[in-house]
Structure 1
Amino acid sequence: MELTPQQVLDICKGDEEIAAKFNALLALNLKLTETVAAQARRIETLEKRIHELERQLGQNSNNSSKPPSSDGLRKPPVNLRKSGGKKGAPKGHPGHTLHQAVHPDHIVTLPVGKACEHCCSSLQDATFVGYEKRQVFDLPVPKLEITELRAEQWRCSCCNRVTQASFPADVTAPVQYGKGFSAWTVYLNARHMIPLERIRELFADLTNQYLSEGTLLSFMRRMHSKLSTVESFIRKRIAESPVLHADETGCRVEGKTNWLHTHSTPEWTLLNVHEKRGFKAFSEVGILLHYPGIVVHDCHSSYFKEIYRFIHALCGVHLMRECIGIIQNDHQRWAAHMLRLLLASWNLVKEARAQDRPLEPDTIRRIERLYDTILQRGESEWHQGKVRPKTGTRGRKCKSPAANLGERFQMHKESILRFLYDARVPFDNNQAERDLRMTKVKQKVSGSFRTWEGAHQFARAHGFISTLRKQGLPVLPSLFAILQGNFAFPQGT
């Protein structure tokens, strides 16, 4: 039979030495118990911290909102894209096969020998049959073209004064570079992300002309000014579209983190650099403030201001990535069920759109019921997830990533499932991400924009070139036309 500490003390009343030792053991036991309890609390805190750090280390472009450029050389464990089958161009792709030109630039006639290659007879009296044509497409070494403009001068016989012809408005110096250098500089810098120093090297290698960096900067300023009207036209077209994509990504300007914003459609791209990410930037860009259509975005809180009138459509791919993160780190079943539901729903919608028909109302109701059921069953599960310890006294209580994601699914159900109801709404926000992707290449190459002027010049030029490529318009001829003042988008765009 076990004895309580008090019973042991009663037995040891006659022996004070034993009683004292027993009291000391009791105190030591109490101290050890308190130490173990403190260590348990500490272990729990450290486990949560380790779990959070492991989550952060395990994040990549397939299980979070991180861009693919952050993955580095490691191979992501899961890929949301499905194989398209056999390798090669997709079915129906027009291809780019090389065809013979009707009017070649040069014709070289290859003469036949004097004797027949079959019987060795003379071909002096032979009958001419024709030619077999083969064409070689090649890119010759560029050659600098120098144009001298001579303005006539005539002395009047009446007043003896000289009248001179006028030079073109853009020819202001005895010797200067032409529009071609300006167009190529903007194209190489804003589209192919080549720094100005390497553009100088390229021009020197091709033309033996060593342009200064200041000259190249003047080309960029000139194009930036010329593109102002075109950018206003693009802004107007995007504001008139029924659905637009919006996103933003960090960029370094003058050594500080700022934000590059995009508002785009499949035909138009508008890029703006701003020091803020949210409402202030949206207001100054000016599109979202009064936009009445549908905006596809990534659920950043800045898009949910009550002042906006637009309809929300959330990116399903971002949600799927976060579901994968919950599955990998927290092993919660509801996230796996939601991932499968989103993917299956999008496949059903793609089949319906391929057949040019809406999704059946019964199918939509079934998807909605499954959506609600998954969240109802998952609510108890996501509240059991590990929560990182709160570091400050202010603000709301911390929640687990699973709880944050689950509550987002509950709060924005209609916006998440909008692709079911409206055939104009895509499942993802990949359009905006593609329009921002090359700016990450720019950041990797150059690291930072040295000035705000350079950042704005890049954004405007890159947005214009992106628009040209979306509409299948030639880039370099269009840049030449901008400098000449006679560029216009085709009618109907």
Structure 2
Amino acid sequence: MSVSEDLSREELISLARTQDARIAEQDAQIAELTAAYEALAVRLARVEHLLSRNSSNSSSPPSKDDDPGRTPPAARKKRDTPAGTRGRQRGAPGSNLAWSDAPDQRRDRFPEGSCGCGAELVDARDLGVVDRYQQVEVPLMTATLTQYDQHAVRCGCGKLHTAARPEGAGAGPVGYGPNLQAWAVYLMVVHFIPVQRCVQMLRSLTGATPSPGFVHGVLTRVAALTSEVDKRIRMLITLAYAVCCDETPLRVGPKKPRPGRKKAEKYLLVACTELWTHYQVGDRDLATFTAFVVKDLTGSVVVHDRYQNYDSAELGTLVHQLCCAHLLRDLDGAAEVYPDAVWPKQISDALRALIHETNTAREQNRPGIDPTVKAELLYRLHHGVLVGLSDTSTIGNRPGERKARLLLEVFRDRRADVLRFVDDLLVPPTSNQAERDLRPAKIQQKISGRLTSEQRTKDRYKILGYVSSAAKNGLDKMAVLRDAILGRPWMPNLPAPT
């Protein structure tokens, strides 16, 4: 017999009410736990999505691929090469230490010592050369201190003449020569060596002991001497047919963010071609873009990564080529969000094939790609986009779904900006040139960390633009730095009038 059978009607009613209250309380707790679980599930999906982003499926830099918890990029399919082969790619130009028919020096070497019979080898009969070896070597450097005594002379006519100081001499009684100054700038700007380590390297290599203040001073002076060259390079970029642009964060200045900013960082912008490189340090806002060279590129095709500022009306009417490397990475990300869908791979394969066909046509000096191949690839790409738009007509709560939909809308609404390179072989399909020119900034941050002075940072990248442009035009970086220190920086020629 149950206990409830012994209870009165009033007691049973009271017990039922107590149980109802307890059930209601448990229902509320279950609802609260369910809501918390669902919220945590959403957060977990978001975290897993963010951790799955890497350099192969997003714009995340390769340097972030090794971060804790990050999913590394999938192993790429190996090239179709014989098993076990390594080295340069097929067709790439090779290099080797070749034999020279005009060595700088020749030295004869003879056996030394004595023979087993006791006779000295110096008296042995010469049978001629039986082996040859050429060795490339550099001399050990030691800084030398030279005193220049400037004399005055008086001409027979009575006029006084005084000898000039040596080339590159400063105003004080003692100074470092142009070669050492060029090395200091070269190490800091081209190889991103921090100031203290630059001083240590110069001491180890030459025995000279310049101070950090001297090194900073050389940087400032060379930046001032190359200012006019920087303006000329900027002007030449505005005349280019196609210009690649990109931007990257740069840790500069105080560690505390400015009011209204989340991070204490600036941005480095680059506009470049195969011949010219121009940098600007600023913010990733419209004011910086307006002051940058982009506003003057209304006559060029601007290749960029779809950052919203490039579409601002304040920059004028630009002709766009959206970077296909960024589009392909985003398509790889969409394929992970929709693993069972065919359209991400179909679009990617068609776009990659179009890039390959245009590159091949350019290498073979053909005016364009085969019309039949072009029509077939465009058909695949277009219908892949249509299928994708149909599959994503309703967006769920999964991370990455909205980004995939926006990507498809870019292919649909900006078709000309995506495929401009297909009809015009003078337009590069990617902004890889800009990413290559920004890579030094990423390396510098790994080596040096935060740069304390915004002005010194501007000086660094003004000099780097000068050196990079000179190297693209076939000049030696050290030579153009030394020329700048001597007050005669390399100046690009103006284009011939048409």
TM-score range, shorter chain: 0.7 to 0.9
Deviation of 1:109 (Å):
2.4
Residue matched to 1:345: 354
Deviations 1:18-66 (A, max 9, x none): 5665566566555555554554444333222211111111211111111
Deviations 1:327-370 (A, max 9, x none): 32453613333333323333343444444242344544444443
Cα distance between partner residues in 1 of 2:89 and 2:491: 30
| Partner of residue 164 from structure 2, selected from 159, 163, 166 | 166
Cα distance between partner residues in 1 of 2:197 and 2:113: 54
Q: How does 1:360-399 map to 2 (within 5 A)?
A: 360-382=370-392, 383-386=394-397
Instruction: For structure 2, list consecutive stretches of 5 or more residues without a partner in the other structure.
Output: 1-7, 256-263
- 3-state secondary structure, aligned to 2:137: coil
Residue matched to 1:224: 223
Residue matched to 1:5: none
Instruction: For structure 1, list consecutive stretches of 5 or more residues without a partner in the other structure.
Output: 1-13, 389-397
**Structure 1 pair 289/49, CA: closer, same or farther in 2 (3 Å)?**
farther
| Partner of residue 313 from structure 1, selected from 321, 329, 344 | 321
Deviation of 1:413 (Å):
2.3
Deviation of 1:282 (Å):
1.8
Residues 108-117 or 84-93, more deviating = 108-117
- 3-state secondary structure, aligned to 1:321: helix
State yes or no: 1:425 paired with 2:427.
yes
**Structure 1 pair 155/267, CA: closer, same or farther in 2 (3 Å)?**
closer
Cα distance between partner residues in 2 of 1:298 and 1:323: 14
**Structure 1 pair 17/492, CA: closer, same or farther in 2 (3 Å)?**
same
| Partner of residue 72 from structure 1, selected from 41, 66, 70 | 66
Residue matched to 1:291: 298
Equivalent residues of 1:142, 1:207 under 8 A apart? yes
Residue matched to 1:212: 211
| Partner of residue 335 from structure 1, selected from 338, 344, 354 | 344
Cα distance between partner residues in 2 of 1:93 and 1:141: 34
Supply the RMSD in Å over aligned alpha carbons.
3.5
Q: Which amino acid aligns with 2:270?
A: T
Cα distance between partner residues in 1 of 2:37 and 2:473: 59
Structure 2-normalised TM-score? 0.82
Deviation of 1:407 (Å):
2.8
Deviation of 1:206 (Å):
2.4
Q: How does 1:48-59 map to 2 (within 5 A)?
A: 48-59=42-53
- 3-state secondary structure, aligned to 1:246: strand
Q: How does 1:456-475 map to 2 (within 5 A)?
A: 456-475=458-477
Deviation of 1:146 (Å):
3.4
**Structure 1 pair 316/125, CA: closer, same or farther in 2 (3 Å)?**
closer
Equivalent residues of 1:227, 1:461 under 8 A apart? yes
**Structure 1 pair 170/191, CA: closer, same or farther in 2 (3 Å)?**
closer
| Partner of residue 281 from structure 2, selected from 256, 273, 276 | 273
- 3-state secondary structure, aligned to 1:262: strand
Residues 436-445 or 413-422, more deviating = 413-422
**Structure 1 pair 322/293, CA: closer, same or farther in 2 (3 Å)?**
same
Residue matched to 1:405: 407
Cα distance between partner residues in 2 of 1:329 and 1:81: 21
State yes or no: 1:302 paired with 2:302.
no
Equivalent residues of 2:168, 2:485 under 8 A apart? no
- 3-state secondary structure, aligned to 2:105: coil
- 3-state secondary structure, aligned to 1:259: strand
Deviation of 1:480 (Å):
1.2
**Structure 1 pair 157/270, CA: closer, same or farther in 2 (3 Å)?**
closer
Equivalent residues of 1:468, 1:475 under 8 A apart? yes
Residues 378-387 or 214-223, more deviating = 378-387
Structure 1-normalised TM-score? 0.83
Equivalent residues of 2:229, 2:491 under 8 A apart? no
**Aligned length in residues:** 466
Q: Which amino acid aligns with 1:83?
A: R
**Structure 1 pair 127/440, CA: closer, same or farther in 2 (3 Å)?**
closer
**Structure 1 pair 180/169, CA: closer, same or farther in 2 (3 Å)?**
closer
Residue matched to 1:9: none
Deviations 1:45-93 (A, max 9, x none): 3222211111111211111111111222778332568636342233444
**Structure 1 pair 366/35, CA: closer, same or farther in 2 (3 Å)?**
farther
- 3-state secondary structure, aligned to 2:265: strand
Deviations 1:454-492 (A, max 9, x none): 101111122222223323321111211222234436769
Residues 206-215 or 371-380, more deviating = 371-380
- 3-state secondary structure, aligned to 1:98: coil
Cα distance between partner residues in 2 of 1:345 and 1:425: 13
Residue matched to 1:61: 55
**Structure 1 pair 414/24, CA: closer, same or farther in 2 (3 Å)?**
farther
Q: Which amino acid aligns with 2:333?
A: G
Aligned-pair identity in percent equals 27
Cα distance between partner residues in 2 of 1:296 and 1:28: 66
- 3-state secondary structure, aligned to 2:433: helix
Residue matched to 1:8: none
Q: Which amino acid aligns with 1:62?
A: S
Cα distance between partner residues in 1 of 2:89 and 2:345: 31
Cα distance between partner residues in 2 of 1:143 and 1:169: 20
Deviations 1:227-273 (A, max 9, x none): 11221221122111100100000001113200000001112111111
Cα distance between partner residues in 2 of 1:124 and 1:324: 77
Residue matched to 2:174: 175
- 3-state secondary structure, aligned to 2:41: helix
Equivalent residues of 2:421, 2:427 under 8 A apart? yes
Equivalent residues of 1:260, 1:271 under 8 A apart? yes
Equivalent residues of 2:395, 2:401 under 8 A apart? no
Residue matched to 1:258: 266
Q: Which amino acid aligns with 1:164?
A: T
